[in-house]
Chain A
Amino acid sequence: MAKKIVLDQAKCTGLGICESLSPAYFEVNEDGDMVQLLQIEVAEGDLQEVQEACDGCPNEAIRLEEV
Chain B
Amino acid sequence: MKRLVVVGASLAGLRAVEAARKQGCTGELVLIGDEAHLPYDRPPLSKGYLNRTQESVVFRTEEVLRDELKVDLRLGVAATGLDPIARVVQTSAGPVAYDALIIATGARARMLPGVPAGLRGVHLLRTLDDADAVRAGLDAGARVVVIGAGFIGSEIAAAAVTRGLNPTLVEALPTPLVRAVGQEVGEQLATLHRRKGLDLRTGVGVAAIEGEGSQVARVRLSDGTVLAADLVVLGIGAIPNTEWLQDSGLTLDNGVVCDATMRAADGVYAAGDVVRWENGLFAQSMRLEHWTSAAEQAATAVRNALSPDSPRAYETVPYFWSDWYDVRVQFVGVPEADETLVVEGDLATGDRLTVLYRLGDRLNGVLTVNGQADIMKYRRMIGQRATWAQGLEFAAERRAMREAKAVAHAQ
Contacts and interface: CB of A to CB of B under 8 A. Distances in A.
Contacts of B289: none
A59 to B, nearest CB: 9
| Interface-central residue, B332, B371, B372, B383, by most chain A CB under 10 Å | B372
Interface in A21-63: 23, 28-33, 55-56, 58
Nearest to A51: B22
Contacts of B274: none
Given A16-B376, A32-B371, A32-B372, A58 B319 contact: no
A51 to B, nearest CB: 9
Nearest to B15: A55
Nearest to B291: A58
Contacts of B296: 56
Interface residues of B, number: 24
B43 A58 contact: yes
Interface string B331-353: 01000000000000000000000
Given A17-B292, A56-B292, A29 B373 contact: yes
B312 interface: no
A55 B372 contact: no
Contact of B299 (A15, A17, A55): A55
A20 interface: yes
B370 interface: yes
Chain B's interface: helix, strand, loop or mixed, by majority?
A: helix
Interface residues of A, number: 16
B322 to A, nearest CB: 11
Contacts of A20: 317, 319, 332, 376, 379-380, 383
Nearest to B321: A15
A28 B321 contact: no
B185 interface: no
Contacts of B375: 16
Nearest to B379: A20
Interface string B307-329: 00000000001010100000010
A56 B295 contact: yes
B34 interface: no
B187 interface: no
B41 interface: yes
Interface in B137-186: none
A31 to B, nearest CB: 8
Given A20-B379, A20-B380, A58-B43, A30 B292 contact: no
Interface in B356-404: 370-373, 375-377, 379-380, 383
A11 to B, nearest CB: 10
A20 B293 CA distance: 14
A26 to B, nearest CB: 9
Nearest to B380: A20
Given A16-B372, A17-B376, 19 more contacts: A15-B330, A15-B372, A16-B376, A17-B292, A17-B319, A19-B376, A19-B377, A20-B319, A20-B379, A20-B380, A28-B373, A29-B373, A30-B373, A31-B373, A32-B328, A32-B370, A56-B296, A58-B43, A58-B292
14 contacts: A16-B376, A17-B319, A17-B376, A19-B376, A20-B317, A20-B319, A20-B380, A28-B376, A32-B370, A32-B373, A33-B372, A56-B295, A58-B291, A58-B295
Interface of A: 14-17, 19-20, 23, 28-33, 55-56, 58
Interface of B: 41, 43, 291-292, 295-296, 299, 317, 319, 321, 328, 330, 332, 370-373, 375-377, 379-380, 383, 405
The 9 closest A-B pairs by CB, nearest first: A32-B372, A20-B376, A19-B376, A16-B376, A20-B379, A14-B372, A28-B372, A28-B373, A30-B373
